[in-house]
Structure 1
């Protein structure tokens, strides 16, 4: 068993947040005779999973519904996972995808404004670093290009 301060230190989450998680039913603590909270060792994985779900944009009520259906250690489905869980998770993923699309569009508009302002001042356009996803996509496109050229030449012959 670990105390709240140790759990906070090991997960990088404030004690206040841990108490909130407990209040929301996301985390369970036992109490010592002196009233101090003690958590099982598995609480470290649980808190990390909760943080990941919050970072994905889920709210505490949705997380409370999902957590019983997920294994803490690997995030995989537990034995009580239901088809509704899958439906809910697909809906959340679709919502996140829409947010990503909106953010990419906003970034592109910002890039246009930055470059227009740079050109007006006679500066070179500002290059933006590629994201890891963009680098991977570019790499995949380069790998596919020779295959596509080969297929095209075979189609002609």
Structure 2
């Protein structure tokens, strides 16, 4: 059975991303591409799901470097347990940022309330 391959434009359309994004993913070692003798990129069907996963990880505010470390790839030696642990650490980092932003928002709200009821002393 022949392996179905996709050109860059076909993959972009099926995954819902731009060809520019696919080239960037390749530069960042997130998406491997086979090259034809004329240098055209060719991808297999599983690349569609991989691109969608990359998009979701970017949407979760992960860096290219972190995504490259986590993506399923037999040569990378990343086990599902290691990936889960790393993703949990990223979620904790985001939770800490949310807590800090919430604290800052509360402080700002308090200052705004005080300005609504000014004291005799000017700020």
TM-score (norm 1): 0.56
Q: 1:16 to 1:97 in 2, by over 3 A?
A: same
Match of 2:69 among 55, 65, 70: 65
TM-score (norm 2): 0.69
Residue 24 (1) aligns with residue 28 (2): yes
Superposition deviation, residue 105 in structure 1: 5.3
What do you get for the CA RMSD once the two structures are aligned?
Answer: 3.0
Q: Give unpaired runs (5+ residues) of structure 1.
A: 71-78, 116-157
User: Which residue of 2 is the match for residue 53 of structure 1?
Assistant: 57
- The alignment of Structure 1 onto Structure 2 pairs a total of residues equal to 110
Which protein shows a greater Rg?
1
Q: Partners of 2:70 and 2:16 in 1: how far apart? A: 22
Q: Give unpaired runs (5+ residues) of structure 2.
A: 114-123
Residue 91 (1) aligns with residue 89 (2): yes
Q: Partners of 1:103 and 1:7 in 2: how far apart? A: 38
Superposition deviation, residue 30 in structure 1: 1.0
Q: Which has the higher contact order (CA 8 A, sep 6+)?
A: 2
